[in-house]
Amino acid sequence: MSRELAQPGRTVIGLDLSEHELALAAKRGPGPWVRADGLQLPFKDNSVDVVTSSMGLVVVQPLTRVIEEVARVLRHGGVLAAIAPAIRPLGPSDLRVLTRINGRLRTKPQFPGPVELTGFAKTLSMYGMRVVEDARERYRFSIRSRADAELVMSALYLPNTRWSRVERAIEYLEDAAKKREVVDVAIPMRRLVAIK
């Protein structure tokens, strides 16, 4: 995201608690990169124009504390733009593929927070913010090779899943792609934008 947002005259600061994630980010895009907790943002009150979050709203918990911190650092008129996983929209063929993946994993992605954010508008309102967009979209990742299968499986949040189970899911996707040339893995996401 930092690569997309970086422009002359704009400061984009990447933040994560994980040293590993920060090291990966530093290899892929401009910094600066800061090791910090989303529950204690290292910025002054009313000092930030935009906060973006890709999956952070389901990983950093509790959500109310995250929103409180975002509201604290945003200037009046500042924007929170976030994406988070969703449960819908999914079609029957999407469900078949995801069920087969989950069957091999014997689990589904496990986030610290709920996959489906509830009470989001109310939480924002408590901290002086309002929702200006709340949309769901079905993205897809096309699997054509083992490398594609490995990439999509490495992107899932599976902290307590044995590698042998992940390998079974990769093999399923690889075999299915060989039979059909391409297998689409649905990725339902929720796009949230709020303003202070």
pLDDT in tens, 8-36: 888 899 999 999 989 988 888 888 999 99
pTM of the shown model: 0.84
Tens of pLDDT, residues 98-120: 999 999 999 888 777 777 778 88
Tokens of 36: 């910090």
Between CA 163 and CA 170 the distance in angstroms is 10
Which of the four pLDDT bands, split at 50, 70 and 90, describes residue 160? confident
68-77, 108-117, 129-138: the lowest-pLDDT one: 108-117
Q: How many CB atoms lie within 10 A of CB 93?
A: 11
Question: Do you know the residue count of the chain?
Answer: 196
42-51, 115-124, 162-171: the lowest-pLDDT one: 115-124
For the chain, the domains span: 37-195
Between CA 123 and CA 139 the distance in angstroms is 27
Q: Which CATH architecture has domain 37-195?
A: 3-Layer(aba) Sandwich (3.40)
Q: What is the pLDDT of residue 1?
A: 78
Residues 6+ apart with CB under 8 A from 118: none
Q: What is the pLDDT of residue 5?
A: 84
